[in-house]
Chain A
Amino acid sequence: MAKFVATDITTSLNGSDISESLAQVELSITSDEVETTSFGTANAGWRTYTGGLKQATVTLQFHQDFGASGIDSTLFPLLNTNGTFVIVPTSGAVSATNPSYTFEALISQYNPIASSVGDLASFSVTFPVVGEVTRGTGA
């Protein structure tokens, strides 16, 4: 895969494809920066760090839909539970050049109504990832 325009990012929640309800997806993975600066001249007056615990969050911008199988009926019952997410850059087969990111996240937030008059009904949520994010290559 080369540089690409993001039109086909595929996201599933508990096995259901929710891609067509999404306008934006962001998976942010960070590690704690643990300072190891010590006295002495070894660091020439510069601070030093080592990696600590890792964590991730996922931010999703949805198009709201209150239909019978719309996104509202999917998300609301999951509030306060862990959902399994799989995010893949395209809808093609998972591979080394189209890796999947799989994780559980706590559905800790839901904003069913977040619209101005005349605008497309949408809402954005950010969920903390629970545990590890695994990167799959289909191997």
Chain B
Amino acid sequence: MASITELRAGLAANLATITGLRTSAEIPDNVNPPIAVVGFDRVQYHQAYNNGMASYEFTVQVIVGRVDERNAQRYLDAYCSSTGASSVLLAIESDKTLGGKAFDCVVSEMSSYGSAIIGENTYLAADFQVQVLAS
């Protein structure tokens, strides 16, 4: 039986394999980009009898600085790519058991590529939907 905190930590650990990308397993008050923040959306219980499995949905928001518009987009493009050393998809799915805490995890989509206002600053960000299957 995995806790949500452990699943968050597992996702953050996988994301930390991307060189230069900071990670936060919880939503921070302030961000220091580039950073991947693990947010938790919902859980669907009782996916098998006897509490055998639940489906957890996380949103990983990758935030990059917007000082240089063009470079910011290029950085974010690399994070959104399905290939390459900066691929968030490949990083998250590099250990699909999240350190042995999950049955499986899959990055289903990237959405909301665009500006994100956090505090008083505007950043460029993209959201990745991640489904985690665990007991």
Chain B nearest CB: distance from A124 CB in Å? 14
- A8 adjacent to B50 (CB under 8 Å): yes
Cβ-defined contact, A120 with B133, below 8 A: yes
User: What sequence of 0s and 1s flags, for each residue 22-43 of chain A, a beta carbon within 8 Å of any chain B beta carbon?
Assistant: 1101000000000000000000
A10 within 8 A of B: yes
CA gap between A120 and B122 in the complex, in Å: 37
Are A19's CB and B48's CB within 8 A? Answer: yes
Q: Chain B: residues with CB nearer than 8 A to chain A? A: 45-53, 103, 106, 108, 133, 135
Chain B residues positioned under 8 Å from A132 (CB to CB): none
A contact residues around B47 at 8 Å (CB) = 23, 63, 120
B106 touches A21 (CB 8 A): no
B108 touches A11 (CB 8 A): no
Are A19 and B106 also in contact (CB < 8 A) when A7-B46, A120-B133 are? Answer: no
**Chain B residues with Cβ under 8 A from A21's Cβ?**
48, 52
